Amino acid sequence: MISGLILFYRYAGKNSISFGFYRKRLINIVVPYLLWSFIYLIYSQFTDPQNVPESLLGLLKNLMSGQAYYHLYFLFVMIQFYCLLPFLLWSFRKWGGWIVLSLSLWCTLGTQTLTWEETKNFFPVPLEEEMIRRSFFPWLFYFCVGGWLGLRFHRTLSHLQRLPLMGLLAVSTAAGVLLVYQMACLHREGFYTPETIIYALSILVLGLQLAQRCRFSLLEATGRRSLAIYLIHPLMLSLLTPLTKSWIPEETYPQFFFLFFVVLSISVGLTMVLERIPYGFLLKGR
């Protein structure tokens, strides 16, 4: 949602997307994605060699589907949305926001149902959840909601600020509890349920309200480095988790909070180092 909001807000008054837009995305997104894919593939050669492709065709498949490491799929999804951006901008101007949002909602809901246990038996060919997740379809509504807000940000923000804060907290909490219940009891992935949409919408509006009321300088500084933190943190998590097993019980809250703060701190520190070295932005992204 945030990515859609920022991109559509930036290009709301422009009739076309310039070549410079794609050049910047190539340098700031695609190059870091490829470099980190190779880094994680090399790392996996030592930690999980059976999942490392043994042929050039397998390597290309990994790179073209975001499969080099478990978190890189999201950058692959964002690259798809960069390619779709001109069409989505045209669609909003041609058909209006509500039509695009309605179509994208049905697209996202339809894709989400493909991952449910109740619907898998209806398809003759098994659909891999990982491949569905790596396409833009389950994320289309989120991106379009952000885009709709970006196109009419100042007009919409005044209306969103009138929504009761406690009501937003109640909705987001209820949706969060339902997500946990569905993952634990119904075996549905958290990202692929209607409750996720409700949770994401309420959190987005809640965040916009809090951003207008308070300043979070530390959070803002971390947000500016969010892409690099996202790219780095799984490596740090994989390296540090085995080190804690001897003195912190596994899968407990103490281990979770310890790893959260340590991994985040190291990731931010490494990002700051990359900011100070030549061509560090190729690994950090922008």
pLDDT value at residue 133: 78
Please report where in the chains the tokens 């929504």 appear, as a residue.
Answer: 163
Q: What is the pLDDT along the chain (286 residues), one digit of tens a residue?
A: 788 888 888 877 776 677 777 788 888 888 999 999 999 999 998 888 888 888 888 888 888 888 888 888 888 888 888 888 888 988 988 888 889 999 999 988 888 777 776 666 676 555 666 677 788 888 899 999 998 988 888 888 888 888 888 888 898 888 888 888 877 776 665 566 777 888 888 888 888 887 777 766 666 677 778 888 899 999 999 999 888 887 888 777 888 888 999 999 999 999 999 989 888 888 888 7
Positive or negative CA dihedral for 246, 252, 255, 259?
A: positive
For the purposes of burial, counting CB atoms within 10 Å of the CB of 89, is it exposed (0-12), middle (13-18) or buried (19 or more)?
A: buried
Angle, to 10 degrees, between the axis of helix 140-151 and the axis of helix 2-10? Answer: 40
Positive or negative CA dihedral for 37, 43, 44, 45?
A: positive
- Cα separation, 59 vs 63, in Å, equals 6
- Cα-Cα-Cα-Cα dihedral of 178, 183, 185, 187, to 10°? 140
Positive or negative CA dihedral for 172, 173, 177, 178?
A: negative
| Long-range CB pairs of 62-68, under 8 A, 24+ apart, other chains included | 62/37, 63/34, 63/37, 65/131, 65/134, 66/134, 67/130, 67/134, 68/36, 68/37, 68/38, 68/40, 68/41, 68/44
Instruction: Write down the domain spans for the chain.
Output: 1-148, 161-214, 219-286
Q: Do the Cβ atoms of 92 and 146 come closer than 8 Å?
A: no
Please report where in the chains the tokens 């901008």 appear, as a residue.
Answer: 89
pLDDT value at residue 223: 72
SS3 state at 84: helix
Farthest CA pair distance, the chain: 60
- Cα separation, 51 vs 68, in Å, equals 9
Q: Token digits for 167?
A: 């009501």
